[in-house]
Structure 1
Amino acid sequence: MSTFKAMVVYEKGEKFERIIEEKNISDLPDNEVLIRVKYSSLNYKDALSATGHKGVTKNYPHTPGIDAAGIVENSKSDKFKKGDEVIVIGYDLGMNTPGGFGQYISVPANWVVKKPDNLTLKQAMIFGTAGFTAAMSVDKLIKYGTKKGGKILVTGATGGVGSIAVSILAKEGFYTVAATGKLSEENFLKTLGAQEVVNRDDIIDEKRPLLKETWDGVVDTVGGTILSSAIKALKYGCSATSCGLAQSPKLDLTVFPFILRGVNLLGIDSVECSIDFKEYIWNKIAKEWNIEFPEGFYEEVSLEGLNEKIDLILKGKIKGRILVNLEK
């Protein structure tokens, strides 16, 4: 095939328009590995790129999609051969390099991970960057000494990262508390493995510098006052991971939790971490963290069905994951 279908975002004055159109393979960058994309997924960052956020994507027209799983069509690298099933997430994919919302991508070889044998391409993209980030968060909590059975708070629990973090933590034997503004989704969260579901507003306290020691660990996906309140309620020597800013990038804290309770704030970056580390996390996902998600956890859409979902994820109205089938 010399042509393929892709979502292309055009900048038209102060507005941005999303169009599904035919592109030529020759339009792609001249990189080492050409991949026929089978599946992608929708992330918050994709929605920002698709609506003209210049902090994510500088130049338009552009094809978003920070996730891609597919089959190698051509490789200039000895690491990969035609027919290999591979995963690409992070780095510049879908930001300023044409991404997974197109049926083909062309990327450097050092962005590509061979798909583990016991994980399908579809399963890989149900996880996607969100699931990868959740797995990184749990892995880091464990490495910083978080004890099995401990009480772990997950914020933004109905979102992609939060929902998968709930499932991984439950599988690892932690007592998982899901914080959400969507209490109507309590049954959904308990199906994923949450032992408790709390209203996110009930854990916020902006006034006191320290709160009652409550959490043995925190996986935060939203930032702002929710994260600062969670840090203030960590038990002595415990840790919180931070990977998102959906509420706010600001963090209003005193140093008291750090110098009086010795707590840790652990940053999570799934974009620029090494390819070796990505292989390590994907293998953990494929083996001990390969979760069978309940019915309704993800919705599968075509490229044409993405427009509506992009608008919804920006409004915080998506639960679980949106899987993009590039052959649908």
Structure 2
Amino acid sequence: MTAFRAYRIHRAEDGSVRAGVESLTLGDLNPGEVVVRARYSGVNYKDALAGTGRGRILRRFPLVGGIDVAGRVESSTDTAFAPGDRVLITGCGLSETRDGGYADYVRVPADCVVPLPEGIDEYEAMAIGTAGFSAALAVMRLQDNHQHPDMGPILVTGATGGVGGFAVDLLAGLGYEVHALTGKPEAAAYLQALGAAQVLDRRELTLGDRPLESAQWGGAVDAVGGEILAWLTRSVRPYGNIAAVGLAAGTELQTTVLPFILRGVSLLGIHSVDCAPALRRAVWARLADDLKPRHLARMVAGTVGLEGLDEVFEQVLAGRIRGRMVVDLAS
């Protein structure tokens, strides 16, 4: 195979990180049973941290960036896949321990590959990406743990972020009353268009410091962590569930056991990187069916080619992009 383009991330001897588009061959990529001709990828906050070196995402260098990718199988030594099959890969160590999706070709182990379900195409899959997958996984775990709409409103924190926006859309589509918490009150109309019944300004929130606060939320999807997550444990109604997806506000959790043993609150951890293959396929099957985002076009901020990634990363980290950026690998 001739050389192809890839956005590759290096670390210098002084520890600094540099990244950019360069020419690779398949021999430069990590081993795997399936070679995919990539068509689309996406930009996640994690990708921006990795590409700029502002977060310790990569565990080995150099690696091709991009934690998501969708395209068609070019070749496979695993009989489960044949040339031309439409597939996607999210997580599975892409851009952490394996070469990722910011390349014309991607090579991965077969158990990382998900056949693209009917009802969704490569572009839509990457418009959803890891953010939408994580939100769908959170919703499914809430449902599995008996979270019903009649238990009361679901609070989604970090609602203007990727995971938060998808959570608002998916939950509202399932009939839950969704309240959106954000530090960007100017985005209220956007969140209401996604399905939020009410938008709360994070700056006007009183968290309190009692072991148990007034029980007001039927459940929650938390993309923030820190003191917000601690407050949620104290303010969710009996037998409500909290799906913890993010840590933008910190990794510490200062709470007590009282919400768990006096109200029966459940804290559900959401980890999208290392899902078992069967669960990963089940989530994507629902994302192509009853959990397909209703407002996906509204949540896409735009598209970018490999050469524009550096600028987009800076905008993402500065909080200047609302919604998803899709990477068009054919541009």
TM-score by length of 1: 0.96
1:196 corresponding residue in structure 2:
198
| 2:34–2:108 Cα contact (<8 Å) kept | yes
1:227 corresponding residue in structure 2:
229
Is 2:308 aligned against 1:305? yes
Encode CA deviations 1:11-35: one digit per residue, 9 max, x unaligned: 2324222211111122112210000
For the residue of structure 2 that corresponds to 1:71, the secondary structure is strand
| 1:163–1:189 Cα contact (<8 Å) kept | yes
For the residue of structure 1 that corresponds to 2:213, the secondary structure is coil
Equivalent residues, number: 328
2:244 corresponding residue in structure 1:
242
Give me the whole-angstrom Cα distance separating, in 1, the residues matched to 2:8 and 2:112. Answer: 22
C-alpha spacing 1:268/1:231, structure 2 compared with 1 (3 Å): same
Give me the whole-angstrom Cα distance separating, in 2, the residues matched to 1:57 and 1:301. Answer: 22
Higher mean alpha-carbon deviation, 59-68 vs 107-116, is at 59-68
TM-score by length of 2: 0.95
2:263 corresponding residue in structure 1:
261
Give me the whole-angstrom Cα distance separating, in 1, the residues matched to 2:208 and 2:168. Answer: 25
Give the one of 153, 156, 166 matched to 1:154: 156
Give me the whole-angstrom Cα distance separating, in 2, the residues matched to 1:93 and 1:18. Answer: 16
Between the aligned residues of both structures, percent identity stands at: 39
Give me the whole-angstrom Cα distance separating, in 1, the residues matched to 2:296 and 2:272. Answer: 25
1:49 corresponding residue in structure 2:
50
For the residue of structure 1 that corresponds to 2:170, the secondary structure is helix
The CA RMSD over aligned residues, in Å, is 1.5
| 1:169-180 superposed matches below 5 A | 169-180=171-182
Name stretches of at least 5 consecutive residues in structure 2 with no aligned partner. none
1:80 corresponding residue in structure 2:
81
1:115 corresponding residue in structure 2:
116
| 1:1-328 superposed matches below 5 A | 1-12=1-12, 13-52=14-53, 55-149=56-150, 150-205=152-207, 207-293=209-295, 295-298=297-300, 299-328=302-331
1:251, distance to aligned residue in structure 2 (A): 0.8
Code of the aligned partner of 2:140: D
| 1:204–1:226 Cα contact (<8 Å) kept | no
Code of the aligned partner of 2:268: L
For the residue of structure 2 that corresponds to 1:308, the secondary structure is helix
Higher mean alpha-carbon deviation, 188-197 vs 202-211, is at 202-211
For the residue of structure 2 that corresponds to 1:187, the secondary structure is helix
